[in-house]
Chains A and B, each alone.
Chain A
Amino acid sequence: MISLMLQLEKQLERQVAHNSKGIDMVVGAKGSPLQLILSAIFQIDVPTGNIQLSEAEALQRNRLVEYGIPLSYGDSYELFRIVGTTSDYPELYSMKLSEGDLWQKSLEVTLGSQVAERTGLKIGDTFFGSHGLSEGGHVHEDRAYVVRGIFAPSATVVDQLILTGLESVWDIHEHSDPVDSASHLEDSETHPHVDNRENEKSTANEKHLFANSEEHEQKEDHQHEDEEQREITAMLIKFRNPMGLVQLPRMVNEKTNMQAALPNYELSKLFSLMGVAIKTLNIVAIVVMLVSGISVFISLYLSLNQRTYEMALLRTYGASRSQLLGMIVQEGLLISFVGFLCGLVSSRIGFFIISQLITSGFHYDLADAALVREEGFLLLISLFIGFFAALIPALRVFRINLSKTLADA
């Protein structure tokens, strides 16, 4: 169990570090900073809302920002998120392509390795995305995505994502419903467009009911308006120098409609919360170890009761006391060692099972099954316990009264 805990911790830390490398700050809609981090970097949890593209771009031009990567998400396909972004995003994670290319035109996508595996989509296949990040969202059936490429596995969050250009996301939403994309998360039944979809392609005078009462007139007009109103979900920022850390977050939080969240800070908070849970589990594990140490002791003790005659016999044939002592201690150590190995294997298996169960979970690399340094301590402790459990039976053997034992046979 302890080994399992250690592995989980290690994996978690690695995943977090890996995914948040190169990102100093995230800006998005105001709300919970942790939610923003989780949704923008790890693609867990729903976004806090949208921000104006123009505001984000203005921030990108700030002299303290080295780069900013826009993200637009909110749609999904078979539970995999569709993320609109620029080519900087895959570059951030040093993604390599295993087949095909990066998306070029609107509505072309490149799939993460896990997505390709689970959905079976191949280059050239088309599919429809649906609203929202859970099942049963309104499907955008008029516009299909087409697969342009597939990424190689990277042990980062991108493996679970479907990447496309920002334009794709805008195009999709433009045509069916130029509504604030945050409201896409509503139940599709209340969405007015479900009824009107069939009429979409007809006259320009079609009136739709929009939450913000924009009118869907000519496509060109509409597009023009949208350009000014275009929104994205979040932007990942890297500072040019440490001054960025000092000035930018405050500026964003106080002077704009966006909020800035710092990944390192939020995640440290999260980890310290988790730390409590992990400590508790570790205590349980230690108790289990002690109990098993006791059971090793008891089984050695009992088995020795039965083997006393044999022990005496060995003495008769010339075994010295210390030889017998050594034999028993070795037994104890051997049991502990084998137990340790079994424990290691079980924890690897347990870990594997757990990671399968978590869908947005860890892409577990078997090379990672390597030993954590703390597991070395675990080995020493196990051997120690084995040694002490064996000690008392060993001493009993040491003090066997030969004559009595043999005579009593």
Chain B
Amino acid sequence: MLTTESLSFEYDPANRFEFPDLFLDYGADLLILGESGIGKTTLLHLISGLLRPKSGKVFIDGTSLSTLSDKQLDTFRGANVGIVFQRPHFIHSLTLGENLAMIQFLGKKKSDPVRIKLVLDGLGLLTKINVHPHLLSQGEQQRAAIALAVVNQPKLILADEPTSALDDRNCIKVIELLKCQTKRNFASLVIITHDQRLITEFTETVTLLPMLEPTPNTDH
């Protein structure tokens, strides 16, 4: 459901990135590996429509992002793409429940408190529904970040370095969580990271190499 073709981006003539073509089926997962500075975040932003590429195309669920106007792009993203950021960020003045309600509103989905409770329950956060996110513990915040990404049942879930700051045990837990949520919501998961520990968890991986030479390799 996700396809990229000849993506490239240029911050300035000294910072150019070219990316390998990606292909992801519905319900499949993808791990994109790369060292720091290789353009992982840039790729993620290109895929999610937060950045427009210098050249190339991105197709999500059959729609080419380049055909969408800015406003349509915003709406499309709100409805179809969920992003789990590296460090959890929330709307400071709203409670957890209100944050999720806000996301529903922005994604042009109907207000659905039942769904909100369902999502939080699945992550063990139902009791925190009226708490302000910045008051949660770090682990709770991380799970809350996942909740924000999945509440609108997007078809694509992107996670940026979700495990980099975690120890081995918690790393496994978070990945399990992500995969489980993705399955539950019938979505595809793309994780972008430099964390080698994740290699064993995914069947499909793409490694980004410096000097723009991608090597797609498949395990077993």
The minimal Cβ–Cβ distance linking A397 to chain B, given in whole angstroms, is 13
Partner-contacting stretch, out of A117-125, A144-152, A313-321 = A313-321
Please give, as numbers and ranges, the residues of chain A lying within 8 Å of B91 by CB-CB distance: 310, 313-314
Whether A406 sits at the interface, judged by CB under 8 Å, is: yes
Q: Is A403 in contact with B71, judged by CB distance below 8 angstroms?
A: no
Partner-contacting stretch, out of B13-21, B55-63, B77-85, B167-175 = B77-85
8 A Cβ contacts from A306-342 to B: 309-310, 313-323
- The residue that A317 contacts in the complex, of B45, B70, B106, with Cβ under 8 A, is B106
Whether B42 sits at the interface, judged by CB under 8 Å, is: yes
Closest B residue by C-beta to A324: B74
Closest B residue by C-beta to A322: B71
Please give, as numbers and ranges, the residues of chain B lying within 8 Å of A313 by CB-CB distance: 89-91
Whether A277 sits at the interface, judged by CB under 8 Å, is: no
Whether A402 sits at the interface, judged by CB under 8 Å, is: yes
Q: Is A403 in contact with B74, judged by CB distance below 8 angstroms?
A: no
- The residue that A402 contacts in the complex, of B42, B50, B87, B106, with Cβ under 8 A, is B50
Please give, as numbers and ranges, the residues of chain B lying within 8 Å of A409 by CB-CB distance: 85-87, 89
Closest A residue by C-beta to B80: A318
Q: Is A316 in contact with B77, judged by CB distance below 8 angstroms?
A: yes
Chain A interfacial residues counted at CB < 8 A? 18
8 A Cβ contacts from A285-312 to B: 309-310
The minimal Cβ–Cβ distance linking A304 to chain B, given in whole angstroms, is 13
Give the most central of A316, A318, A319: most B CB within 10 Å: A318
- The residue that A314 contacts in the complex, of B79, B87, B106, with Cβ under 8 A, is B106
Please give, as numbers and ranges, the residues of chain B lying within 8 Å of A320 by CB-CB distance: 70-71, 74-75
Q: Is A315 in contact with B87, judged by CB distance below 8 angstroms?
A: no
8 A Cβ contacts from B86-126 to A: 86-87, 89-92, 102-103, 106-108
Q: Is B50 in contact with A317, judged by CB distance below 8 angstroms?
A: no
Q: Is B78 in contact with A310, judged by CB distance below 8 angstroms?
A: no
Whether A407 sits at the interface, judged by CB under 8 Å, is: yes
Whether B4 sits at the interface, judged by CB under 8 Å, is: no
The minimal Cβ–Cβ distance linking A395 to chain B, given in whole angstroms, is 15
Q: Is B78 in contact with A407, judged by CB distance below 8 angstroms?
A: no
Interface membership of chain B positions 141-180, coded 1 if the CB is closer than 8 angstroms to chain A and 0 otherwise: 0000000100000000000000000000000000000000
Whether B66 sits at the interface, judged by CB under 8 Å, is: no
Q: Is A407 in contact with B41, judged by CB distance below 8 angstroms?
A: yes
A321 to B107, CA, bound (A): 14
Q: Is B51 in contact with A317, judged by CB distance below 8 angstroms?
A: no
Please give, as numbers and ranges, the residues of chain A lying within 8 Å of B85 by CB-CB distance: 406, 409
Please give, as numbers and ranges, the residues of chain B lying within 8 Å of A314 by CB-CB distance: 91, 102, 106
Please give, as numbers and ranges, the residues of chain A lying within 8 Å of B75 by CB-CB distance: 318, 320
Main secondary structure, interface of A, reads helix
Q: Is B70 in contact with A316, judged by CB distance below 8 angstroms?
A: no
Given contacts A310-B92, A321-B74, A402-B51, contact A316 B83 (CB under 8 A): yes
A314 to B51, CA, bound (A): 15
Q: Is A318 in contact with B74, judged by CB distance below 8 angstroms?
A: yes
Q: Is A406 in contact with B45, judged by CB distance below 8 angstroms?
A: yes
Q: Is B106 in contact with A403, judged by CB distance below 8 angstroms?
A: no
Please give, as numbers and ranges, the residues of chain B lying within 8 Å of A402 by CB-CB distance: 45, 50-51
The minimal Cβ–Cβ distance linking A286 to chain B, given in whole angstroms, is 34
A123 to B102, CA, bound (A): 70
Please give, as numbers and ranges, the residues of chain A lying within 8 Å of B107 by CB-CB distance: 317-318
Closest A residue by C-beta to B42: A403
The minimal Cβ–Cβ distance linking B128 to chain A, given in whole angstroms, is 19
8 A Cβ contacts from A50-93 to B: none
A313 to B78, CA, bound (A): 11
- The residue that B78 contacts in the complex, of A309, A319, A322, A406, with Cβ under 8 A, is A319
Q: Is B51 in contact with A403, judged by CB distance below 8 angstroms?
A: yes
Please give, as numbers and ranges, the residues of chain A lying within 8 Å of B70 by CB-CB distance: 320-321
A318 to B108, CA, bound (A): 8
Please give, as numbers and ranges, the residues of chain A lying within 8 Å of B106 by CB-CB distance: 314, 317-319, 323
Given contacts A315-B74, A319-B78, A320-B74, contact A403 B50 (CB under 8 A): yes
- The residue that A316 contacts in the complex, of B41, B50, B71, B92, with Cβ under 8 A, is B50
Closest A residue by C-beta to B77: A318
Q: Is A309 in contact with B89, judged by CB distance below 8 angstroms?
A: yes
A39 to B77, CA, bound (A): 79
The minimal Cβ–Cβ distance linking B1 to chain A, given in whole angstroms, is 19
A32 to B42, CA, bound (A): 87
B-side interface residues toward A, CB under 8 Å?
41-42, 45, 48, 50-51, 70-71, 74-75, 77-79, 83, 85-87, 89-92, 102-103, 106-108, 148
7 contacts across the A-B interface (CB closer than 8 A): A309-B89, A313-B90, A314-B102, A317-B78, A318-B79, A320-B71, A406-B85
Q: A310-B89, A317-B148, A321-B74 are in contact. List 9 more A-B contacts (CB 8 A).
A: A309-B89, A310-B91, A313-B90, A316-B78, A317-B103, A317-B106, A318-B107, A318-B108, A319-B74
Top 4 closest pairs, chain A to chain B, by CB: A318-B78, A318-B106, A317-B106, A403-B45
